[in-house]
């Protein structure tokens, strides 16, 4: 494990421009180990774009991202993405069974999950008997749970969650939210979650970054950021 | 009947062309009664087709009197033209021109070389240029179809591809299903040609050989040889192109570069 004073993730003057438009403007934040940070802001502010820069699905046009104390460009993108798991707004499961989906990540690194590993992961997300189910037969809520389990199968050090409950109905949203909170706590994961729902941010996170028009408008403990309006 | 009036082959050809064109115009005039208005387009197409094919005939006539090395230049020029036309539909794929060029050159081009060395294509101007052009033209169509399908599939599955990248997958692994689908999509028309040969259609080359007085059985066998070569050359071209295009749509940092405008992130 790394030393406590090294932040889990740090962005320094991070910017991203695409098609001539600057989407992310000079964001510098320091995410501590095991913290849960909500990324909030109005629709179209650049919250998801910021998250994508953190696991390098998009390439920063200026600035730096340090992951566990190192510039993330020193790591191969595959290693970075394995360590910093991402759950997207929609599950985007691969055609096939739930087991195929859970085995996909570890297989990329030459590791084959055993049936016991699969069962453990599925139990963790409340889908005990789903191993052989075809993903086309799952509800959106179940698919999002499988997506979370698929990310956890890579044993990440941290999680990036891009509005993971926004496509779910209210009851399922609260269930998946509670599930995510439990897993983060049990696994002691550092987590960044994009949400447009301030109530959800308050329930889940201990810190928040408010992004407005691509720039950091506020960053600090959750109550301070949410009450600062 | 016409052959009694027009005694030289060129005069006979011109008369036949005029009657064939007149029948096409008559059809369009008939279609007009059903409110299908294609007169202008048909006239332009007929004129254009006639000029193009006469021009090609004149070029072939000139070529037949040239030394064999000119055939190589002609085929290379055809590869260049096929690349420009074939890559036009896939402008949004990064490096589509180079992918198409390398695909046709390494696929159809190398196939023509090998077949000529073996003797399946004769080392004669009258054989190498027309057969070579057929292989190149079909390779062009195949690679254009495959790239078009690949581009649409990738843009329709950005979420799945990025989900796989986010799990640490190699870029080529994330697009594997779309490479397979695009390769098959490109080859289906060629496969159908092979399958329906002689039943649904009697291809031009065979018809031409029979009209020229060749043995119909030899004409049929040679037509099969050409269609089979078209399939093989097109297949090789599309496989090479698909192998090359996989890496073109990702950045060195394994980020997906090909995405529709609507797919842009917030």
- Which residue of A79, A92, A105 is in closest CB contact with B159? A92
Q: What is the mean pLDDT of residues A165-178?
A: 84
Residues A163-182, mean pLDDT to the nearest whole number: 86
Residue A161 is predicted with a pLDDT of 95
The predicted structure's pLDDT at residue B202: 66
Is B264 an interface residue toward A (CB < 8 Å)?
Answer: yes
Distance from the Cα of B168 to chain A's closest Cα (Å) equals: 4
Kindly provide the ipTM of the predicted complex, given to two decimals.
0.93
Q: Which two tokens stand for residue A217?
A: 């408008």
Contact B107, B239 (CB under 8 A): yes
Tell me the pLDDT band of A98, cut-offs 50, 70 and 90: very high
Search chain B and give the residue with CA nearest A155.
B167
- pLDDT score recorded for residue B25: 82
3-class SS letters over chain B: CHHHHCCCHHHHHHHHHHHHHHHHHHHHHHHHCCCCCCHHHHHHHHHHHHHHHHHHHHHHHHHCCCCCHHHHHHHHHHHHHHHHHHHHCCCCCCCHHHHHHHHHHHHHHHHHHHHHHHCCCCCCHHHHHHHHHHHHHHHHHHHHHHHHHHHHHHHHCHHHHHHHHHCCCCHHHHCHHHHHHHHHHHHHHHHHHHHHECCCECCHHHHHHHHCCCCHHHHHHHHHHHHHHHHHHHHHHHHHHHHHHHHHCECCCCCECCCCHHHCCC
Which residues of A lie closer than 8 Å to B, measured between beta carbons?
18-19, 23, 43-49, 52, 55-59, 77-79, 81-82, 85-86, 88, 90-94, 104-105, 108-109, 147, 150-151, 154
Long-range own/partner contacts, residues B14-17 (CB < 8 A, 24 or more apart):
B17/B50
Q: What is the pLDDT of residues A194-214, one digit of tens each?
A: 998 999 999 999 999 999 999
Q: What average pLDDT does the segment A218-223 reach? A: 94
- pLDDT less than 70: residues of chain B: 200-202, 261-266
For residue A3, the model assigns a pLDDT of: 55
A61 in helix, strand or coil?
coil
For A26-42, what is each residue's pLDDT tens digit? Answer: 999 999 999 999 999 99
């Amino acid at each position: 494990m790394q030393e406590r004073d090294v932040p889990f993730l740090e962005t320094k003057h991070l910017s991203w421009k695409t098609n001539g438009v600057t989407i992310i403007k000079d964001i510098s934040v320091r995410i501590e180990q095991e913290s849960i940070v909500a990324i909030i802001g109005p629709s179209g502010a650049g919250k998801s774009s910021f998250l994508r820069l953190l696991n390098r699905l998009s390439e920063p046009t200026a600035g730096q991202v340090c992951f566990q104390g190192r510039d993330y460009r020193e790591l191969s993108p595959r290693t970075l993405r394995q360590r910093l798991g991402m759950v997207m707004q929609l599950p985007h499961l691969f055609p096939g069974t739930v087991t195929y989906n859970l085995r996909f990540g570890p297989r990329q690194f030459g590791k084959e999950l055993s049936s016991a590993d699969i069962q453990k992961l599925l139990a963790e997300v409340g889908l005990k008997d789903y191993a052989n189910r075809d993903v086309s037969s799952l509800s959106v809520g179940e698919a999002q749970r499988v997506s979370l389990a698929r990310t956890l199968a890579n044993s990440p050090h941290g999680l990036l969650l891009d509005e993971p409950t926004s496509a779910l109905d209210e009851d399922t949203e609260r269930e998946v939210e509670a599930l995510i909170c439990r897993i983060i706590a049990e696994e002691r994961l550092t987590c960044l979650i994009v949400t447009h729902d301030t109530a959800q941010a308050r329930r889940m996170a201990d810190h928040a970054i408010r992004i407005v028009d691509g720039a950091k408008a506020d960053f600090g403990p959750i109550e301070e950021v949410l009450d600062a309006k | 009947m016409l052959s009694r009036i027009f005694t030289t082959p060129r005069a006979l050809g011109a008369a036949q062309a005029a009657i064939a064109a007149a029948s096409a115009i008559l059809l369009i005039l008939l279609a007009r009664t059903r409110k299908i208005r294609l007169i202008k387009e048909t006239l332009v197409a007929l004129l254009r087709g006639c000029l193009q094919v006469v021009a090609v005939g004149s070029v072939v006539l000139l070529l037949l009197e040239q030394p064999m090395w000119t055939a190589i230049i002609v085929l290379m020029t055809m590869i260049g033209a096929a690349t420009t036309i074939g890559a036009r539909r896939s402008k949004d794929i990064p490096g589509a021109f180079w992918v198409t060029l390398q695909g046709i050159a390494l696929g159809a081009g190398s196939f023509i070389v090998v077949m000529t060395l073996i003797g399946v294509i004769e080392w004669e101007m009258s054989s190498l240029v027309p057969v070579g052009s057929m292989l190149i033209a079909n390779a062009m169509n195949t690679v254009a179809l495959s790239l078009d399908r690949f581009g649409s599939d990738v843009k329709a599955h950005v979420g799945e591809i990025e989900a796989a990248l986010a799990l640490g997958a190699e870029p080529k692994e994330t697009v594997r299903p779309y490479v397979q689908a695009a390769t098959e999509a490109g080859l289906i028309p060629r496969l159908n040609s092979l399958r329906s040969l002689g039943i649904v259609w009697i291809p031009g080359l065979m018809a031409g050989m029979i009209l020229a007085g060749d043995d119909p059985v030899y004409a049929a066998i040679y037509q099969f040889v050409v269609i089979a070569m078209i399939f093989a050359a097109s297949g090789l071209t599309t496989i090479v192109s698909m192998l090359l295009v996989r890496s073109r749509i990702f950045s060195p940092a394994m980020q997906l570069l090909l995405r529709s405008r609507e797919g842009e992130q917030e």
